[in-house]
Amino acid sequence: MDLIGGYDVDRSNGAVRLIATADVGPGTLGLAGVWASGSNAYYATSEWAVAAEYAYKATDRLTLTPGVQYYGNYGLVNADNFTNNDGWKGGLTVDYKITEGLTSKVAVNYVDIDNNPKEWTGFVRLQRSF
């Protein structure tokens, strides 16, 4: 478990995160929470958020990771005040080891924030390690 905090002296605001992971069955469960006092260099997406993911190692080459995150008071009105909008994000990431030193990652996410259009996002990534 990790507790991480930071204070941005330029903005007089800070953030605190708590992150925990545990091996559960054939994968790893991750839980996280964050709180911010206002806009800062460490976290300024929402006033608070909680998240969970489970990285399921299906085979030696394939890992499936579904995850969700809930945001409280998403977005800023000004540097010190968050909106009253809440929201959530859910998604799936698929990691596949093609061969030694070459992996692929595909992700798709759905985002639903109050007073904002719902959206789908994602990416495809190939990574070569030497």
**What would the DSSP string read from start to end of 34-95?**
EEESSS-SS--SEEEEEEEEEEEE-SSSEEEEEEEEEEEEESEEETTEE-S--EEEEEEEEE
- Domain total of the chain: 1
Instruction: Give the model's pLDDT for residue 63.
Output: 98
* Contacts (Cβ under 8 Å, ≥6 apart) of 78: none
Burial of 37 (0-12, 13-18, 19+ CB in 10 A): middle
Instruction: Give the model's pLDDT for residue 79.
Output: 83
pLDDT in tens, the chain (130 residues): 999 999 999 999 999 999 999 999 999 999 999 999 999 999 999 999 999 999 999 999 999 999 999 999 999 999 889 999 999 999 999 999 999 999 999 999 999 999 999 999 999 999 999 8
Instruction: Give the model's pLDDT for residue 33.
Output: 98
Full domain range(s) for residue 120: 2-128
Instruction: Give the model's pLDDT for residue 34.
Output: 98
Contact in structure between 30 and 55 (CB atoms under 8 Å):
yes
Burial of 119 (0-12, 13-18, 19+ CB in 10 A): exposed
Instruction: Give the model's pLDDT for residue 4.
Output: 96
